Structure 1
Amino acid sequence: MTVTSSKPSRASAAATWWRAQRKRVIWWTVIALVALVVVVLVARWLRTFPAIEQFIETYPGIVPPPEGTPVGIPAWLGWQHFLNSFFLLLLVRTGFQLRSKQRPPGFWTRDNSRWPRTKRNPRRMGIFLWFHLWLDAFWVLNGVVYVVLLFATGQWLRIVPTDWAVVPNSLSAALQYASLEWPTENSWVVYNALQQLAYFAIVFIASPLAILTGLRLSSIWPLEGPLVRAFPEKLAKAVHYPVMLFFLAFTFVHVVLVFTTGALAKLNQMYAARDTDDWVGFVVFAASVVVMVVAWVLAKPPLLKRIAASSGRVQG
């Protein structure tokens, strides 16, 4: 007599989770679209008041940069932009794979014979977690290089607010964007106040939070002691996922604004370090998208297992 378990398999549980996520995405998309329409209507209504127009005239959305702020976007920011996009794409993918609770198609175990100085038992982890941690390491390394170059070249003056006028000017810029009347700006010379605050938040708030909470959830964090009590794992999980959603929201808004506020000029600045509106930047951008698509397609278990096997044992 064959007895079948009433409990769903891990594969079916993962499929159920993905279906629930799709429904959630659909609902949140509908809610976001309705909210967007409401925001636009309210913003345009507010701009019918003379006081609001006077506020926008007083605070046009641009804060003059400090003396010595470099003009232009250097080439290293272009490849940094690509690498950040590349790692973020794959990090989000592996993050959702981990949250799906799907049984990994393989498990990686550290080979202590290759790492004679390591202590305790070899660590075993799913192949998706292994890939996520390696992506984290490269993303953090890239971020360190970015911050060093940011301060070494003076580019930090473009994204770090140095005047409290950034607050009313960012409100003005937000109102102008919301009313679909884009603020006048030239990002080759200076970012508008809202852009400046957004970039500052990404670099100096969201990224450190992602790194800290990621470390807390990794095997690097001690299993016991004051650090465990000071920063509970439950708190790290509660912060890590919303931070990822913040990155996704920022990326979506960023891409939409790039393609609606002079795509050729913006892509030239971002990818080709050129203050022109020809097609060079678009070609570089298109090539970077192709690379990311190829990486997405290739980052499947068979290839990941072969790569992981170079630093340990892979089973499953």
Structure 2
Amino acid sequence: MTPARIPTPLRAVYGVFGAATLAVLAFTAVFFTRWIASLAPVEAFLAAYPGAAPMPEGQGIGVPAWLSWTHFLNAFFLLLIIRSGIRIRGERTPSGLWTSRRVKKRRMSLTIWFHIAVDVLWMLNGVAFVVLLFATGHWVRIVPTSWEVFPNALSALIQYVSLDWPTHSGWTGYNGLQQLSYFAIVFLASPLAILTGARLSAFWPRETDPSSRVGRLNRMFPVDLAKAIHFPTMLFFVGFVIVHVGLVLATGALRNLNAMYGGQDAVNWTGFWIFVISLVAMAGGWIAARDRVIAPIAQRFGDVRMRPRR
């Protein structure tokens, strides 16, 4: 049986009720955390661990140009990955098919091909970022070097939730919660997204013999497990981006944007306008990611057959 559709006015009521519930929960969390932070033991904890991530003296200071560029490209490619990923989940009938010229059995929808193509660009950018991160010594910004990062991360979390922002400068380093979050994104979530995405792609070997090496690998890492992990990982990225951008704008927007985009530890409008230009570029990429733009590019790497429009 087809489930009954909820009427549009009722959906609007549900939406308003849901938003109001989230607002009440947020206010409750803020006031409860502020009460917790006022207790003497917690005050002593916050004084002992103010939130800053311990870093080797004199290392990881500043935001070099390569970090700004890889940061922008990461956001740009991630936006297109999310766009195409959402389209894949909602696509019942592909608008076009891509077929490899070398392996005719390797066939996929045009949307999936675009998703994989952008994935490859995102991975290449990520490799460049990690190589430069360790080559220049800036790895200390996002890789914990002391166990004290954990109590400092908890301290930073309490301060964020209570709206008593932890004082820090992205130019000289991050607080404990930021460091753990960036470490998780770069070294945990990203490899997990790549591995599960590869398992779901047409490029993964499809050996059906369970006794073969590939068959054993497929049995150890079934496609259903990859599906169960891949989409929630994307949602984790989306949630991280929303919180990350929100805190950047709420905790000293001009200085934060200037550090990442303007390459200077100062409060002026340089970084803001570069950020605006990057948003325009990302919006242009979102609009351009359509079949009539994707198909000619995909045609260079295989055969494309578009479904006739009705």
* Both proteins in one fold, TM over 0.5: yes
User: Is the aligned partner of 1:207 residue 2:190?
Assistant: yes
Q: CA deviation at 1:122?
A: 4.2
* Conserved? CA contact 1:111–1:122, under 8 Å: no
Corresponding residue number in structure 2 for 1:91: 81
| Matches of 1:28 and 1:245, distance apart in 2 | 19
SS at the partner of 1:125? strand
Counterpart of 2:294 in structure 1 is 304
CA distance in 2, matches of 1:247, 1:161: 21
Amino acid at match of 2:80: L
What CA deviation, in whole Å up to 9, does each residue of 1:40-76 have, x standing for no partner?
A: 1211111221111111011100133113523111111
CA contact (8 A) 1:63 1:192 kept: yes
2-structure distance, mates of 1:273, 1:165: 29
What is residue 145 of structure 1 aligned with on the other side? 128
1:163-186 Cα offsets, whole Å, 9 max, x none, are: 111111110100000000001112
After superposition, where does 1:278-289 map in structure 2 within 5 Å? 278-289=268-279
Offset at residue 277 of structure 1 (A):
1.1
User: Within 2, Cα distance between the matches of 1:185 and 1:110?
Assistant: 51
Q: TM-score, normalised by structure 1?
A: 0.87
Match of 1:168 among 147, 151, 155: 151
Instruction: State the partner residue of 1:230.
Output: 220
* CA–CA distance in structure 2, aligned partners of residues 222 and 188 of structure 1: 45
Equivalent residue, structure 2, for 1:109:
99
Mapped to 2, the partners of 1:28 and 1:213 lie a distance apart of 32
Q: Which residue, 53, 76, 79 being the options, matches 2:66?
A: 76
Amino acid at match of 2:182: Y
Identity %: 51
Aligned partner (choices 32, 46, 50) of residue 56 of structure 1: 46
Q: CA deviation at 1:28?
A: 6.8
CA RMSD of aligned residues (A): 2.2
Q: 1:29 to 1:204 in 2, by over 3 A?
A: farther
Q: How does 1:33-48 map to 2 (within 5 A)?
A: 33-48=23-38
Assess, with a 3 A threshold, how the Cα gap between structure 1 residues 222 and 111 changes in structure 2: closer, same or farther. Answer: closer
Structure 1 residue 131 and structure 2 residue 114: aligned? yes
- Distance in 2 (alpha carbons) for counterparts of 1:31 and 1:252: 19
- Size of the aligned set, in residue pairs, is 292
1:30–1:111 CA distance, 2 compared to 1 (3 A): farther
2:229 equivalent in structure 1: 239
Q: Is 1:262 paired with 2:262?
A: no
Gapped regions of structure 1 (runs ≥ 5): 1-6, 9-15, 113-118
For 2:249 and 2:284, the matched residues in 1 are separated by 23
- The residue number in structure 2 matching 1:3 is none
The one-letter code sitting in structure 2 at the alignment partner of 1:96 is I
Preserved CA contact (<8 Å) 1:81 1:271: no
